[in-house]
Amino acid sequence: MPKALVVDDSKAIRTILAKTLKELGFEVCEAANGREALEVIEAEKATVQLVLLDWNMPEMNGLDLLKRLRQAPEFASLVIVMVTTEAELKHIAEALDAGANEYVMKPFTKDIIVGKIQLTGIQF
């Protein structure tokens, strides 16, 4: 079973995304910020294949986490999809330039999330 990590400071958003991922057959871990996400990824690094990542969070934001993960060769194949309220073109470009595989703007639908995950080529 593929494993995914949902990183968002909103419990409601984590719940919605986790439900969608579970319906697709993923085992799901959650983190409320970038620092928690790093701990989960370090502990589960061999098994986490997909990260759905919010931008605006306390302690460590999503962009900083994305950049940190992309600097580590062991996470080069990790699929990272930004899921955020940041809708300006410059933010989208910044996230994609930093190594995000896809970008989803909130609010989103289940179909949008599924479609973006499919675009990454990840198997589920």
How many distinct structural domains can be found in the chain? Answer: 1
Residue 1 has pLDDT above 90, yes or no: no
Looking at residue 112, which CATH number applies to its domain? 3.40.50.2300
Whole-angstrom Cα distance, residue 38 to residue 92? 22
Whole-angstrom Cα distance, residue 53 to residue 65? 9
Whole-angstrom Cα distance, residue 105 to residue 91? 11
Owning domain of residue 92? 3-119
Does this model's pTM top 0.85? My answer is yes
Token reading at 104: 């989803």
Residue 124 domain flag: no
The 10s digit of each residue's pLDDT in 27-38 is: 999 999 999 999
The 10s digit of each residue's pLDDT in 41-84 is: 999 878 999 999 999 999 999 999 999 999 999 998 999 999 99
Longest CA–CA span in the chain (Å) reads 36
Residue 35 domain flag: yes
